[in-house]
Amino acid sequence: MDSAVGRGRQGPDVDVPTLLGDDHEAFETVLSGEGTGPVAVVGEPFSGRGSVLDRAVRELDATRVSLDPGDGVDRIRAKTNGAPVVIEDCQHLYERRIGGFEALSAFLDDLASIDARVVTGWNRYAWAYLTAVQALDREFPVTVEIQPLSAERTAELVLARYDEMPAFVADDPERGGLIVTTRHELGWRDWSVSVPVPMLDPVVARDLFSDGNLDPKDVTFGRLAAVSNGNLGVATAIWETHHGSEVRPSDIAVPASDRDLDREEAFCLRIVLAKERVNRAQLTGIVDGLDRVLGRLSRDGLVTIEDGIVEPVPAAVPAAAATTERGRIL
């Protein structure tokens, strides 16, 4: 069995028109030599940004520069010689600290004087942050974004990885109730009581309004596309986490911790999400109580830490993004 996540952080191979959607035309224009100025390819972690950059390398016969955590502008300068260049993972050019924008600033200065075609790849969260605080988008006249995949396309691409098809089974309507009860502490002065609060189960409630004759496979991949935000790398990781010989729509869920993250944890998670790979040492001066924070995020299944590199867990990216956006962390 092939593992999408195991194939590296670029994510699975998908055709570029599918990935770019309406932005594909603008990208083709760039590859055909029309237009001027550097190009930014922006996408979520594991969404297949690498496939788009692969295409640019082939079409432009360009030099490829893959940046790693801690890399600076010198690594780019060493490989630029007037020929087209494709620079991957440009989010490693900044750090979220005082003095952390120097490499990015030098890179943007260089970019202004390069005549050759330059295609750059950016993490979506890093791009949003740098656009807000450094007006990064002004330096890139052409920006293309990886688009969410449809449920049908997600099904095709996920299932294409396997020789054997699982059996798709409809959810048992008796299995879960419409009302889910959670308990909340209600306190007054020194007195408190745990009060049951009934809430509608959104999945069961949605099923109530469906016609009930939907193909379980369609429902399963509809849910997979929805929970993964159409991100193929994430969808594949969620699929691999849950599927067996028999798959029910309710098996598809984003792994998420029950507890709310505090500000420090959410901030650390946002940095990991934006950088995709980050040195633990780089986080030391930024996140207070780093060891404990990373320990908790790791236990919650949101990040992995290996050889001093912190990375987001692919299947947990939607939960991580939702958590940090709920906390309105830039």
Q: Which residues bind other proteins (CB under 8 A)?
A: 96-101, 132-133, 184, 186, 188, 263-264, 267, 286, 326-330
- Nearer to other proteins by Cβ, of 132 and 179: the residue is 132
By CB neighbour count within 10 A (0-12 exposed, 13-18 middle, 19+ buried), where does 201 fall?
A: middle
Min separation Cβ 3 and other proteins, Å:
34
Tokens of 105: 């600033």
Nearer to other proteins, 118 or 329 (CB): 329
The minimum distance between CB 128 and other proteins, in angstroms, equals 10
Q: Would you say 79 or 184 has its CB closer to other proteins?
A: 184
Query: Residue 29 or 192: which CB sits closer to other proteins?
Result: 192
241 touches 161 (CB < 8 A) = no
Nearest to 144, CA basis, from 32, 243, 19: 19
For other proteins, the closer CB: 49 or 124: 124
Contact call for residues 147 and 225 (beta carbons, < 8 A): no
60 or 272: whose CB is closer to other proteins?
272
Min separation Cβ 212 and other proteins, Å: 31
Provide, rounded to whole angstroms, the least separation between the CB of residue 328 and other proteins.
Answer: 4
184: buried, middle or exposed (CB in 10 Å: 19+, 13-18, 0-12)?
Answer: exposed
Q: Least CB distance from residue 133 to other proteins, whole Å?
A: 4
Torsion sign, CA atoms 40, 56, 93, 229: positive
